[in-house]
Amino acid sequence: MNYLKILIVSSLLFVQNSILVFLQKIIWRKKPRKVKNILVYKVGNIGDIVTAYPAIRLIRLKYPNANIDLLTSAGQKIKKYTSAASLLKSQQIIDKIISYSDGNIFPISKNICDSKYDLCFYMSDDRTHFIRELRNLLFFSTLKIKYLSGISVNTIKFFQKSYATKNPYPYENEVDRNLNATQLSTEKHFNFFYYKDNSSNEIKEQSCEINNALIIATGAKINPKKWDLNNFFEIANLWLQNKGDVVFIGNKEDDIDAKKIISKISELNNFEKNLSENKYYNFCSKTSLEDTVYLIDKGKVMIANDSGPAHLSSFTQTKVVTIQASLDFKIKWDPYLSKKFVMRSSNINNIKYTQVWDKIMEVA
């Protein structure tokens, strides 16, 4: 029965992608020789954009003299989350960001047509479905783009758990999937190269005394992805007592978590007569994405939930121990340069802080 389910999903994916490829080749027959204007389509939040970063950088390296614009959206009803698209512009990988919200792309369609793009690199969302991609394909066919490629389907809702048991394993990391979607050679150009001079002088000055730091990011988009705050407290306290300083990063919601942890640490230290001479720093809601990358880079090691900051670690030499609930299939969303430090469980709070501490010690 399991074999039959795998066969059904494999066949559906093959048929759906064959249809999408066929239609793309019918509508966009020939790639232009001269490429002056390029459109990259990629939607999502920090993790989505960061995992597409090497692919978009590869496009820039392949077409160094072209104008490259990014068409993006953070998605519907989640405007409170920060898009990482600004990182692409600050790193001079793209020239312009074209944003839309709540799925409403029609108001900017005329501007896209007027830009007369020679190429469009379309990077499908991992969780997209066939009808959505077919709709998008037909819409993009009206935008006067000379050549487009990349529209595809990666998952199907039927028999997902059975399909994940397929041998060889059917899923790949999002970084690799986006790179493959470009259909460009990656032998010489693939990496997370990042200019670190864009962070603010204020953050640089405030962080100059940080010593042997553990970076902590408690945030997560949904509660099932949030490790219990007491576990972060235990880790922070162990690090302060034994290793060095602790740095908290994140947004306004994470600031609440950081203050709770700091309050417990302060109470404990006062009770134990300030046994720790190491310091804690709370940078939550005080930094840009560039500043956040700078702080992560100053860390000895990082611990985070499955979230944007975990992926930002790929721009640095700092390894991240990531706490993941198995809401998605393994490998796909592992921070690319810290895959072996991912800890997963169907119930995230079954992961004990002592297990995570042992994993941190493998890095530190």
Instruction: Give mean pLDDT in consecutive 10-residue pieces for the chain, a chain of 364 residues.
Output: 92 97 96 96 92 94 96 65 79 92 83 96 94 96 97 92 92 94 75 79 90 96 92 96 95 95 86 68 94 95 95 95 92 94 94 97 91
**Do residue 265 and residue 299 come from a single domain?**
yes
Q: How far apart are CA 193 and CA 337, in angstroms?
A: 13
For the whole model, what pTM was predicted?
Answer: 0.91
Return the C-alpha torsion angle 354, 227, 199, 338, nearest 10: 60
Q: How far apart are CA 59 and CA 92, in angstroms?
A: 12
Q: How far apart are CA 321 and CA 362, in angstroms?
A: 10
**Do residue 210 and residue 156 come from a single domain?**
no
Phi, psi of 272 (to 5 degrees): -100, 20
**Do residue 8 and residue 147 come from a single domain?**
yes
In a domain, 196, yes or no: no
The residue segments making up the domain with residue 89 are 2-182
Supply the pLDDT for residue 34: 94
The closest of 258, 233, 217, 282 to 46, measured between CA atoms, is 217
**Interior angle at CA 325, CA 321 and CA 326, nearest 5:** 115
Neighbouring C-alpha atoms within 13 Å toward the C-beta of 318: 28
**Do residue 209 and residue 76 come from a single domain?**
no
Tokens at 105, concatenated: 């792309």
Q: How far apart are CA 38 and CA 328, in angstroms?
A: 32
Supply the pLDDT for residue 170: 93
**Interior angle at CA 7, CA 6 and CA 10, nearest 5:** 85
Q: How far apart are CA 75 and CA 175, in angstroms?
A: 20
**Do residue 217 and residue 161 come from a single domain?**
no
In a domain, 11, yes or no: yes
**Do residue 109 and residue 227 come from a single domain?**
no
In a domain, 278, yes or no: yes
Tokens at 168, concatenated: 């060889």
Q: Which of 182, 216, 240 is the last residue of a domain?
A: 182
Give strand pairing partners of 216: 248, 303
> Any residues with CB less than 8 A from the CB of 253 and at least 6 apart, and which?
219
**Do residue 19 and residue 87 come from a single domain?**
yes
Q: How far apart are CA 238 and CA 3, in angstroms?
A: 47
Residue 24's CB is within 10 A of a number of other CB atoms, namely: 20
Q: How far apart are CA 358 and CA 310, in angstroms?
A: 19
Residue 114's CB is within 10 A of a number of other CB atoms, namely: 9
The closest of 39, 26, 48, 28 to 70, measured between CA atoms, is 39
147-149 and 280-282: which strand pairing? unpaired
Task: Give the distance, in angstroms, between the CA of residue 164 and the centroid of all CA atoms in the same chain.
Answer: 22
